[in-house]
């Protein structure tokens, strides 16, 4: 068990980014922990390795250099820095970069054999009041 604290970027499904100083094992929640290294920066994505099998909600899309989705992270995930032999704190610059990359929550809709990814708006749109025009006999 890890017993040190690191600065991490923490992303929950349907929620906006948070930057916390937290124990890695506590933040990763339950389940087998997996790590992926999809970026050139010295960072890792840490997630529940069984998240998709457990039916956890899809959280954020991972995209290639053309912006095309190639995978999605299920459940809560962390973006952590990489040290020489272990995870490390994110630098402020990397924390800001990955906050911007993953800031917007995403909704995933299955359409046939495709997965449509939609950004979740910052605030729910306010519904405009509907004014019913007067009926012909009321004029």
In angstroms, rounded to a whole number, what is the distance separating the alpha carbons of residues 28 and 45?
Answer: 11
Cβ atoms 105, 120 nearer than 8 A: yes
Q: Give residue 69's pLDDT.
A: 94
In angstroms, rounded to a whole number, what is the distance separating the alpha carbons of residues 18 and 78?
Answer: 10
Tens digits of pLDDT across the chain (139 residues)? 333 445 666 666 666 555 544 444 444 455 678 899 999 999 999 888 888 998 999 999 999 999 999 999 998 888 889 988 888 888 889 988 998 999 899 999 999 999 999 999 877 666 666 666 666 665 5
In angstroms, rounded to a whole number, what is the distance separating the alpha carbons of residues 47 and 77?
Answer: 5
Phi-psi region for residue 55, left (φ > 0), alpha (ψ -120 to 50) or beta?
left
């Amino acid at each position: 068990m890890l017993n040190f604290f690191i600065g991490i970027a923490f992303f929950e499904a349907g929620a906006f980014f948070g930057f916390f100083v937290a124990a890695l094992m506590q933040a990763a929640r339950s389940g087998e922990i997996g790590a992926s290294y999809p970026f050139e920066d010295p960072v890792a994505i840490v997630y529940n390795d069984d998240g998709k099998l457990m039916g956890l909600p899809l959280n954020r899309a991972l995209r290639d250099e053309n912006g095309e989705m190639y995978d999605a992270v299920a459940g809560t995930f962390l973006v952590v820095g990489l040290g020489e032999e272990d995870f490390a704190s994110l630098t402020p610059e990397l924390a800001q970069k990955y906050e911007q990359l993953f800031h917007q929550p995403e909704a995933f809709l299955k359409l046939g054999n495709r997965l449509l990814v939609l950004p979740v708006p910052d605030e729910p749109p306010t519904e405009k009041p509907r004014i019913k025009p007067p009926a012909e006999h009321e004029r």
